[in-house]
Amino acid sequence: MAQFDTIRTAAGTSAAQIDEGLRAHMNKVYGTMSVGMLITFLAAWAISTLAVTADPSAAAAQIGTSKYLTSFGATIYMSPLKWVIMFAPLLFVFGFSAAINRLSAAAAQLVFYAFAFMMGLSLSSIFIVYTSASIAQVFLITSIAFAGLSLYGYVTKKDLSAMGTFLMMGLIGLIVAMIVNIFLASDALTFAISVIGVLIFAGLTAYDTQKIKNTYLEHAHSGDSEWLGKAAIMGALNLYLDFINMFMFLLQLFGNRE
């Protein structure tokens, strides 16, 4: 239910209309996020199948018993291009956030789906490193945890905005630690990063859900469907990133390697 009396009565908009609009807005957020997730995992799986072969005659490098990288796989995983693939999604997010006001809602949605595909390319190695069973198990665990945390963020009457600054500071520190650990390759630091990462993105899932809800309630009376459409896409992007990152950190903790 809508929580702001000033919004309920604004511009003659009834409480029922606000609540119906909020449900439609959240459905669009979760629907867009779900399509993005599907694109990411299909792209990651498809790219991983192109990157690996069991035929040594077609191999560019061996990565395990009866498992070889194709020339395509060697290019994206072993050449300097791997650094571009690794950091491109992060740069894409910053660029998308900066350009969202200049895009139409339809264009923003297409850009989001293009980002989801790029993320799939970046994550494709998980199908080579981890067993399919452990990927499926961790995905299920992440889905359950995400659903519970997002539901909490949606229904709680507690103001979670105070968490935002703390979580963003933690996220910046986490990114710095991850970059440093690329060069240190410390197992202990990797474990600590994974645990802290799960906690940060668990908190961000609840925080972002409440923020998406409150943003809609604050602007519902404006009747600007274009702005609300772009707000839904940005909300989908935030929740998508929360899910993906929580999944990856849980996979590092509990995934079984090939």
What is the per-residue pLDDT for 173? 94
More confident residue, 6 or 59: 59
Average pLDDT over residues 213-239: 88
pTM of the predicted model as reported, rounded to 2 decimal places: 0.89
Residue 118 pLDDT > 90: yes
Q: Parse the chain into domains and list their residue ranges.
A: 5-254
- Assigned token pair, 244: 């993906």
Residue 12 pLDDT > 60: no
What is the per-residue pLDDT for 124? 95
Cβ atoms of 108 and 224 closer than 8 Å: no
Listing from the earlier edge strand, what are the strands of the sheet with 61-64? 52-53, 67-69, 61-64
- Assigned token pair, 111: 């850009």
Residue 191 pLDDT > 60: yes
CB burial class (10 A; 0-12, 13-18, 19+) of residue 209?
A: buried
Residue 10 pLDDT > 50: no
Average pLDDT over residues 64-70: 82
